[in-house]
Amino acid sequence: MTSNEPSEPAYDAVVLAGGGARRLGGADKPGVRVGGRALLDRVLGACADARTTVVVADPRPTARPVRWAREDPPGAGPVAALDAGVRHTAADDVLVLSADLPFLAADTVRRLLTALRAGGAEGTMLTDADGCDQPLVAAYRTAALRRELAVLTADHGGLTGLPLRRLTAGLDLTRVSDPVASFDCDTWDDIATARARIREHGHVLDEWISAVKDELGIDLDVDTGVLLDLARDAAHGVARPAAPLTTFLVGYAAAQAQGGPEAVSEAARKAAALALRWAQEAEQDTAARHDQAPQDQAQQDQAQQGKKDKAVEPGGSGPDAG
């Protein structure tokens, strides 16, 4: 089906994944897992629709293909790293992210880009729970970034060691508050907090499904409510083990049909209807047994009474016989 709606303008993404992670004891922070996924892969998932994604770090396995870049010299700081990444971009807008954002999601990326394009600002960045700017969770006009990077290079003879505030001070910026998406992991306590949060009741299911899709390489958004209802119906109408097996078969059927979310929904509808028919048959059988029980009891009572009557008849076999 062809849509008449205009597509969103393309954007590029630059993810800074270097640094020494001193407060993590020198651990490989982008590779630290939260909810079973590396922090870097979680960030890459949030900007999966970027036209070009540049990761500034030494190459490593990632959940999706990216372009790699490195600041010169390595470890020269965030401004130098950003400059190395922006050199590989071509879109008018560039999303700039750090690689330690466990709760960044695609909707936050969209909010940043929408806010940038809605006004005349040169950049839009998130603010954290304390109202502090987060320049590495932001969307910028690419031309404005290049202009300020060139100015800093000329003024300082290079970019090594410069703080990000030197760069953002020359930009016209707007802010978007998002205490959750701006949460970053600098310490092991931060990592523990992030891991605990995704296991909370209101988050764990979405987090798990997202992690499974990444692990299996599935890019498919389905109505999880439909599948959960199907699992409930199968468990109630058939047997508890039928729930996971049925949802597996629905997924397999949708894959066989080479379909997307619609194929999953249709297969789930058919399986749910079958489960309901099983439940209805069981209910009918139960009701029939309840209806039959009084009749069976009446027949038993009648037979028993017949035996008693026979026992007291003359010539019968009762104690008075003979």
Summarize pLDDT for 57-73 with one digit per residue, the tens.
999 999 889 999 999 89
Confidence label for 318 from pLDDT (cuts 50, 70 and 90): very low
* pLDDT at position 239: 84
Q: What is the distance between the alpha carbons of residues 130 and 212, in angstroms, rounded to a whole number?
A: 33
Mean pLDDT computed over 195-220: 76
Question: Among residues of the chain, what percentage have pLDDT more than 70?
Answer: 84
Structural tokens at position 224: 């999880």
Mean pLDDT of the chain: 84
Confidence label for 300 from pLDDT (cuts 50, 70 and 90): low
Vertex 276 angle, CA 272 and 281, to 5°: 150
pTM of the model: 0.73
Instruction: State which amino acid sits at residue 310.
Output: K
* pLDDT at position 164: 95
> Kind and range of the H or E element at 227?
helix 224-237
Question: Among residues of the chain, what percentage have pLDDT more than 90?
Answer: 47
Measured CA to CA in angstroms, residue 319 lies from 93, 146, 303, 314, 316 at distances of 107, 116, 20, 11, 9
Of 103-117, 228-242, 298-312, minimum mean pLDDT range: 298-312
